[in-house]
Amino acid sequence: MGVAALAEKDSLNQRVRDVLLFDTYGQRLTEKQRMACDMILMRDFSLAEAAESLGVSRQGVHDLVARAREHMEDCESSFGLVSMRNRLEAMRRALDENKSRLPEDFYRDFMKLLEG
């Protein structure tokens, strides 16, 4: 895999992480941070479009999103909810991949536990 492909993969992985963090911790942000993240991370606005909508500069939007990311990463360090969700999804995939080798009642009961 070339350098460009690795950079693109890292960028995609970061984008997915940002969306998961925002989905999990977005309510812990200030209103302006939440609005900026919604525009930039969720709706793919450019900095200029978000700046115009929020009435701030492009640098202001960049700073809002950067502070929001930092806050969401701090929340994840404290609570670990995104990490827990990822582990539960990995367990669900492992169960699905091994379904034919597991007793039916075990599989059914474990899946119920994972689904909450």
pLDDT tens digits, 55-112 = 999 999 999 999 999 999 999 999 999 999 999 999 999 999 999 999 999 999 999 9
Which tokens in the block code for residue 90? 């990995």
CA distance 66 to 72: 10
Q: How many domains does the chain have?
A: 2
Shared domain for 43 and 9, answered yes or no, is yes
- CATH number (domain holding residue 41): 1.10.10.10
* pTM, to two decimals: 0.81
Shared domain for 10 and 61, answered yes or no, is yes
Shared domain for 8 and 63, answered yes or no, is yes
Residue 29 belongs to what domain range? Answer: 1-79
pLDDT of residue 115: 85
Shared domain for 68 and 86, answered yes or no, is no
CA distance 93 to 33: 34
Shared domain for 9 and 27, answered yes or no, is yes
Which tokens in the block code for residue 17? 């992480």
The answer to whether 81 touches 53, Cβ cutoff 8 Å, is no
